[in-house]
């Protein structure tokens, strides 16, 4: 079942990217919701009884966010719903990162090391918000809160260094960074200036982010 779910995930992901490139709306309506559905099935079939309810909630709220953002061009309310859904998803991922780490770290970041490692991430997150802030209009508060939670999610991925298997750390951390990049593309395209190939940039980095995070969490408990 695990291999089938993984193959289906990659086919659905490819279908979504093709739908964006070729502007195939019907294919998009089918493939985008199935990204997190197939990834969720892959997660469940990979971890068995070791499944985390928190990870499942992160997947479910990501799915809700995906579906909501499919209709944001119809009504801006859907964008707000999508924003809130992904914010909640990030909160659950933060909790999941802390679940999927060892109580006794082997070589984790400490003190000044943490500050040095975190600084570029905080700078990138706050820098983008400062640039976008004048263009956000009524969405200033929710976007700033979302950006704060997103940065915290990435930092919690970073702070797993030395607290989990090396492969688990890198998969989750790179995935979290891809999430930040994807959301940055989305924000720049929506609020600042249209980006060439915006849909492909946003979705390719988003799909990579979700897969790497889930694969990294699976790797922590894989024997």
Report the predicted TM-score, pTM, of the whole model to 2 decimal places.
0.94
**Largest Cα–Cα separation, the chain:** 51
Record the tokens describing residue 183, joined without a space.
């959301």
Q: What is the Cα–Cα distance from 168 to 148, expressed in whole angstroms?
A: 24
In angstroms, the CA 43 to CA 28 distance is 23
pLDDT band at 105 (very low <50, low <70, confident <90, very high): low
Query: Where is pLDDT greater, at 123 or 222?
Result: 123
Query: Which residue is it, tokens 């959301």?
Result: 183
Using 50, 70 and 90 to split pLDDT, how confident is the model at 222?
A: confident
Structure-block tokens of residue 128: 């983008």
Average pLDDT estimate for 47-51: 90
Mean of pLDDT values over 75-95: 96
Q: Which two tokens stand for residue 131?
A: 């640039």
The 10 Å Cβ neighbour count of residue 14 is 12
CA atoms within 13 A on the CB side of 203: 23
Q: For the chain, how many structural domains are there in total?
A: 1
Spatial distance between the Cα atoms of 160 and 37, rounded to a whole number of angstroms: 27
Look up tokens 């950006």; give the residue: 147
Average pLDDT of the residues in 46-62: 95
Question: What average pLDDT does the segment 96-107 reach?
Answer: 84
Residue-by-residue DSSP string for 112-152: HHHHHHHHHHHHHHHHHHHHHGGG-GGGHHHHHHHHHHHHH
* Domain range enclosing 116: 2-221
Residues in the chain: 223
The answer to whether the beta carbons of residues 43 and 96 sit under 8 Å apart is no
The tokens describing 157, both together, are: 């991925």
């Amino acid at each position: 079942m695990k291999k089938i779910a993984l193959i289906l995930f990659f086919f659905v992901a490819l279908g979504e990217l093709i739908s964006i490139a070729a502007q195939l709306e019907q294919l998009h309506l089918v493939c985008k919701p199935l990204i997190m559905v197939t990834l969720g099935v892959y997660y469940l079939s990979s971890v068995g009884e070791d499944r985390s309810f928190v990870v499942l909630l992160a997947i479910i709220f990501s799915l809700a966010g995906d579906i909501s953002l499919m209709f944001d061009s119809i009504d801006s309310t859907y964008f707000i719903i999508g924003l809130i859904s992904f914010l909640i998803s990030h909160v659950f991922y933060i909790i999941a990162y802390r679940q999927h780490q060892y109580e006794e770290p082997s070589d984790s970041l400490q003190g000044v090391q943490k500050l040095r490692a975190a600084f570029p991430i905080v700078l990138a997150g706050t820098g983008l918000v400062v640039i976008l802030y004048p263009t956000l209009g009524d969405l200033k508060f929710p976007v700033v809160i979302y950006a704060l939670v997103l940065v915290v999610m990435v930092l919690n991925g970073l702070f797993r260094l030395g607290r989990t298997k090396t492969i688990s750390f890198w998969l989750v951390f790179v995935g979290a960074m891809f999430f930040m990049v994807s959301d940055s593309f989305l924000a720049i395209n929506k609020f600042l200036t249209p980006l060439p190939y915006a849909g492909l940039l946003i979705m390719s980095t988003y799909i990579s982010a979700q897969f790497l995070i889930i694969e990294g969490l699976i790797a922590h408990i894989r024997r």
